[in-house]
Amino acid sequence: MSNKINIVLTVLLLGCALSLVNAQYRARHLFIDLERAQALSKQLDIEWAQLQLDQSTLGKHARIEEIARRDLGMTPLTPNRTQYLTEGEP
Amino acid sequence: MMRASGGNGSARVARSKGVSFSKSPVLAVRLPPWRSRLVMIVLFLAFGALAARAVWLQGVSTQFLQKQGEIRYARTLELPATRGKITDRNGQVLASSIPVKAIWAIPDDVLQAPKEKLRALAALLEMPESELRKKLDSDRNFVYLKRQVEQDVADKIARLDIEGIDTRKEYKRFYPQGEVTTHVVGFTNVEDVGQESMELAQQKTLVGTPGTRRVIKDRLGHIVEDIGAKHEPHDGKDLTLSIDSKIQYIAFTQLKAAVEKFHAKAGGAVVLDVHTGEVLALANYPSYDPNDRRSLTGAQLRNRVMTDSFEPGSTLKPITVALALDSGRVKPNTYIDTGPGKFTILDRTISDTKAHGVINVQQIIEMSSNIGTSKIALSMPSQEMWEMFTKVGFGQQPKWGFPGAVAGRVRPYKSWRPVEQATMSYGNGISVSLIQLARSYMMFARNGDTIPLSFQKVSELPQGQQIIKPETAREMREMLETVVSGKDGTAKQAQIPGFRAGGKTGTAYKVENGRYAMPRKYIGSFVGIVPMSAPRFIIAVMIDEPTQGGHYGGQVAAPTFAAVAANALRALNVSPDSSVTEIVIPADTGPEAM
């Protein structure tokens, strides 16, 4: 009788031990994935900041004005050649 | 081979002889008993030594050993925190931190490197080879070669593969709008600590707190798992300024053009939002590029709008007149005799540009009569005037969270002599900063109340503090409009096509070392409100020491006001409140009283 219990317990113990190994293995893998994802998120954050900076640099008003005047031949708007449309008026 | 086969042969021989192994006569030799005992004792001693060693390792020195073990696989990683961004009110980035590298070296190791590599390194670091060698000629084990090197350059340096060169992660702050916004935004030093303006004022909220985490690393340096608690890094908070970068750009370029046109020493301009008290633009010229501060001078660094106080001159007259109107001492159509243009109090003579004769209060403002304002001022107790100046913020330390903002100077009323009370009424003998001056007009633009200014975007409207009656504010607005559009107005050049504008010019002598500078140096200023039908902006402009093409506020500052206002109104889609779209401005608006 006690022999049978011992065998059952041994089998259980082995099962537990193997599942622990398996769990540990999967935890390592998930951890590596998490690490990678976090590194990527960090990298993307930096990229986002860099892009925002680029947007601000390229959208500098001085640059826009220069391009508008020189390359596109634009001139500033004045009220005497503006038609104002006011809501509610005929 | 030979011996082995021989042995086998003899065993076989023994078996064939029929003698059993145990009875072999060779084994019958008796050994002395102490020998086996000695072996046993030695064995026991060896076991004892092993047991003692095990007890020592497991019991006594276990902590030390575990610690040593941990040192070999556990690492504490620094988790850096990024400094918050600074953006304008519409989210455009004005300052942002990007990770870069600091290049450092162990001099002795680097000097072993081949010459070509050092030359390439010097080229990448943008320094002459001699300078690089000078840096490496050091007894220390650690030398920074260059800090804040951008990532792609750092990668190229790493590819050179020079022994003893390493990098350290750090952040560099970039200011994409450069010289345009720098007097509001400020800058940080290489340690990422704010040095000027909002970067300095908001250092505590902008800076992040770095975190740490303990991990186990494997042989290849990969992180295997976390041990212990992780201290999360907290990035600095982003800061949204009240500045509108479009209006800021307009103010800066117009101011720059004016300073260059009038060959002035410097200039300042500020645009306030009447409803929220937000500072929409604050420009100074000369300015500097915060991304490259190598040749920075004090004059460029100076934030004249905030930190310089000056005698405002006639721009102060409306405040004196508003007090008289509010206390019922005069009405806009009350006539005052300004006489022949000269008015003597004791030993001092106050003069106008010409004899205006008998004019009413509205004309006193329109033509900027010193005598008229003085006479109004002398009819009031000095204490009331002092209280008025204090209420609008003159002589008071501003609490707008901007480093270095000056309080200006208003002497206690008890020490005022009558002549001083008269000169103060038109802005001499009192000093204010341009932003204080602009804010004092808040009570005219609003309905007699004033609100605190803010350099950060305001989410709810601030509570106003009533200073004059709404009726007085309305009368003052009408008077200020005549300065710009009246036939004798001193600021005809402040007219804006399509909009009604109002304001007041000011021209003052500069004070140097406690007395008026000789030969005369001037400060021309203009504070204006637009559009008059529903005030939206207060714009103040100050031109310091104009030397060519005029020096009166109406000549040097008013056109800048008009240009800034016209563009700002258009930029924010404010609809015109005047049908006058063609404006012919007289070439010379004439002199103005000082």
Q: Which residues contact B108 (CB under 8 A, 6 or more apart)?
A: B141, B164
Neighbour tally for B222: CB within 10 Å: 11
- Looking at the domain assignment, is residue A88 inside a domain? no
CB contact under 8 A, A80 and B498: yes
> How far away is chain B from the Cα of A68, in angstroms, using its nearest Cα?
15
* Best CA proximity match to B97, nearest among B208, B220, B183, B243: B208
Tell me the chain B residues in contact with residue A82 when contact means C-beta distances shorter than 8 Å: 498
Give the pLDDT confidence score for residue B414 in this predicted structure.
87
CB contact under 8 A, B177 and A56: yes
CB contact under 8 A, B178 and A60: yes
Tell me the chain A residues in contact with residue B582 when contact means C-beta distances shorter than 8 Å: 80
B314 is catalytic: yes
Q: Distance between CA atoms of B594 and B475, rounded to whole angstroms?
A: 24
Instruction: Quote the tokens at residue B537.
Output: 């902006």
Out of A35, A53, A76, closest to residue B174 by CB = A53
Q: Per residue of chain B (594 residues), what is the pLDDT tens digit?
A: 344 444 444 545 545 556 666 677 766 677 788 888 999 999 999 999 999 999 998 888 888 888 888 888 888 888 888 889 999 999 889 999 888 888 888 888 888 888 888 888 888 888 888 888 888 887 788 888 888 888 888 888 888 888 888 888 888 889 998 889 999 999 988 888 888 889 999 999 998 888 888 888 877 777 777 887 788 888 889 999 999 999 999 999 999 999 999 999 999 999 999 999 999 999 998 899 888 888 888 888 888 888 888 888 889 999 999 999 998 888 888 898 888 878 888 778 888 888 888 888 888 888 888 888 988 988 889 899 999 999 998 988 888 888 888 888 888 888 888 888 888 888 888 899 999 999 999 999 998 999 999 999 988 888 888 999 999 999 999 999 988 888 888 888 888 888 899 999 998 888 777 777 777 888 999 999 989 999 999 999 999 988 888 888 888 899 999 999 999 998 888 888 877 766 666 555 555 655
**Helix or strand or coil: residue B194?**
strand
Count the residues in chain B.
594
Tell me the chain A residues in contact with residue B570 when contact means C-beta distances shorter than 8 Å: 77
Helix (H) or strand (E) holding B44: helix B33-55
- Phi then psi for residue B310, to 5 deg, are -145, 165
Domains held by chain A: number = 1
- Looking at the domain assignment, is residue A28 inside a domain? yes
> How far away is chain B from the Cα of A36, in angstroms, using its nearest Cα?
10
**Helix or strand or coil: residue B445?**
helix
Give the pLDDT confidence score for residue B16 in this predicted structure.
53
- Looking at the domain assignment, is residue A80 inside a domain? no
What is the CA B554 to chain-centroid distance, rounded? 32
- Supply angle C-alpha B14, B20, B26, rounded to 5: 70
Q: Distance between CA atoms of B82 and B100, rounded to whole angstroms?
A: 12
Q: Which domains does chain B have, with CATH numbers?
A: 73-101+175-241 (3.90.1310.10), 245-290+300-571 (3.40.710.10)
Helix (H) or strand (E) holding A9: helix A2-58
Instruction: Quote the tokens at residue B577.
Output: 């409140």
Model confidence, pTM: 0.81
- Looking at the domain assignment, is residue A33 inside a domain? yes
CB contact under 8 A, A53 and B96: yes
The boundaries of the domain holding residue A65 are 2-70
- Looking at the domain assignment, is residue A29 inside a domain? yes
DSSP B518-575: SS--EEEEEEEEE-TTS--EEEEEEEES--SS--SHHHHTHHHHHHHHHHHHHHTTPP
- Looking at the domain assignment, is residue A17 inside a domain? yes
Out of A28, A56, A78, closest to residue B497 by CB = A78
Q: Distance between CA atoms of B159 and B345, rounded to whole angstroms?
A: 82
Give the pLDDT confidence score for residue B540 in this predicted structure.
94
- Whole-angstrom CA distances from B279 to B160, B207, B374, B546 are 50, 24, 32, 26
**Helix or strand or coil: residue B413?**
helix
- Looking at the domain assignment, is residue A89 inside a domain? no
Give the pLDDT confidence score for residue B151 in this predicted structure.
83
Q: Distance between CA atoms of B146 and B168, rounded to whole angstroms?
A: 11
